[in-house]
Amino acid sequence: MALPADFLWGAALAANQCEGAYQEDGKGLSVADVMTAGTVDTPRRITTDVEAGVYYPNHDSVDFYHRYKEDIALFAQMGLKVLRLSIAWSRIFPEGDEIEPNERGLAFYRSVFAELKRYNIEPVVTLSHYEMPLGLVRKYGGWRDRRLVDFFARYCDVCFREFGDTVRYWLTFNEINVAEYNPWSPTGINMRPGDEGYWPTIYQAAYHQFVASAKAVIRAHEIDPGLKVGCMTLAGIVYPKTCHPLDAKAADDFQNDMLAFADVQVRGHLPSFLCKAMERRGVTLVREAGDDEILRAGTVDFVGFSYYSSMVQSGTETDAEKTGGNMVSGVKNPYLETSAWGWQLDPMGLRLTLRLLYNRYKKPLFVVENGLGAADEVVDGRVDDDYRIAYLRAHIAAMIDAVDEDGVDLMGYTPWSALDLVSAGTGEMKKRYGFIYVDRDNEGAGTLERIPKKSFFWYRGVIASNGTNL
């Protein structure tokens, strides 16, 4: 057992999925505020404005905005050493392009960080987690416009200066590579793969985020060289369906494609296979003088990633049976079970992902999301989520093996999610990930009461024993 004594055990949240209070204290609308509820079969609808009579689950979410003291006290009881949470950009710059920040938005996060400090819980802050200001979509078309680089830089500068004394760990863009597959939440661009002009728009937007991320790293280090800034990529090992060389190539293509954005953030330049993919997809990036130097100087200090599933790709069968997954999916793996939402469960895949990323990047890794979405039920006032404990136990064991036996340098683990919140993919409350149950349903009814689940008490023991008591 070789987890370091300072291993960052924690749990994760995102502002738009837990805070609610979507118009309070000067907050502007974000891209999450115009997403309706959906299900696994009915995609969430994106509306141009808030429509009367339509239910938007992120508007009130689970009311962390008013209940953060109670929630943080529970996180402290669980023994969390870190809490990964995000700052809603639209609380600080309601429209996104203002010159001066919204003081009331800053005050809220100041209080949240002070509360965490009271319990010695260290924040790990994502600067942009699927909640950019809607104003930037309306006026500029989202990240396709280069001016967003400067707006984001201003926002980051304010955050680092305001909170840099209490927040040491930062992540720039949540799952930056999701822009390729599902661009609305990460970039504010309402297009689907296959739409005309898709690739030139998406790659240009992603390129702007590469530059913005690098500038954020540079600025954080200027303000305080002790600040650690990481990237955050959706990750997962990709298996070939068979040992047929064409299957192996399809898997490798997909893997490289998936990691290409993190490659830029870690290595400071666009990998050649990404340039070739752009060429094939008819993309000519618009770049500015000085960008190469910014990308080179703004490489990240650590690699954060989410892991929910491994994936399978086939280069030989076009009609191979498909499976569901987080933002991306692939071919069904007959050896794996799936969650109730069709995501394949593969703890060994986490170990292989850790090996892959460490060998590729040689930088400290941080598992900033991993978890099981399930329709938990309260029975006699208790939530006995043994299936979640089994999931987390197997993934933590695989993670420890990666450290112990494979020599991976791993900083921490913040499973999704600290408490139940609105699902990003489907907008459901029913798809629960939390250690703490929240009494709220898909239609927004419920008392919002918090009930620690069985996994809460189990995870407390895991943290207290530094992973020896699984």
- Rule CB under 6 A: which residues touch ligand BG6? 14, 17, 130, 174-175, 306, 326-327, 369, 373, 416, 423-426, 431
Residue 308 in contact with residue 343, Cβ under 8 Å? yes
Residue 305 CB-half CA count within 13 A: 30
Q: Give the 3-state secondary structure of the chain.
A: CCCCCCCEEEEECCHHHHCCCCCHHHCCCEHHHHECCCCCCCCCCECCCCCCCCCCCCCCCCCHHHHHHHHHHHHHHHCCCEEEEECCHHHHCCCCCCCCCCHHHHHHHHHHHHHHHHCCCEEEEEEECCCCEHHHHHHHCHHHCCHHHHHHHHHHHHHHHHHCCCCCEEEEECCHHHHHCCCHHHHCCCCCCCCCCHHHHHHHHHHHHHHHHHHHHHHHHHHCCCCEEEEEEEECCEEECCCCHHHHHHHHHHHHHHHHHHHHHHHCCCCHHHHHHHHHCCCCCCCCCCHHHHHHHCCCCEEEEEECCCEEECCCCCCCCECECCCCCCECCCCCCECCCCEECCHHHHHHHHHHHHHHHCCCEEEEECCCCECCCCECCECCCHHHHHHHHHHHHHHHHHHHCCCCCEEEECCECCCCCCCCCCCCCCCECCCEEECCCCCCCCCCCEEECHHHHHHHHHHHCCCCCC
Q: Closest Cα to residue 418, out of 432, 430, 436, 431?
A: 436
Phi/psi at 91 (nearest 5 deg)? Answer: -85, -30
Q: Is 162 in the active site?
A: no
Q: Characterise 25 by phi-psi region: left (phi > 0), alpha (psi -120 to 50), beta (else).
A: left
What the block records as the tokens of 9 is 């055990």
Nearest distance from C-beta of residue 375 to ligand BG6, angstroms: 12
Tell me whether residue 14 or residue 31 sits nearer to ligand BG6 (CB atom). Answer: 14
Q: Which residue among 131, 162, 175, 428 is the active-site one?
A: 175
Q: Is 175 in the active site?
A: yes
What the block records as the tokens of 303 is 């690699």
Tell me whether residue 79 or residue 342 sits nearer to ligand BG6 (CB atom). Answer: 342
Tell me whether residue 31 or residue 424 sits nearer to ligand BG6 (CB atom). Answer: 424
Cβ-in-10-Å burial (0-12, 13-18, 19+) of 48 comes to exposed
Tell me whether residue 162 or residue 175 sits nearer to ligand BG6 (CB atom). Answer: 175
Tell me whether residue 102 or residue 426 sits nearer to ligand BG6 (CB atom). Answer: 426
Name the residue number minimizing CB distance to ligand BG6. Answer: 425
Residue 435 CB-half CA count within 13 A: 28
Residue 153 in contact with residue 219, Cβ under 8 Å? yes
Catalytic residues: 175, 369
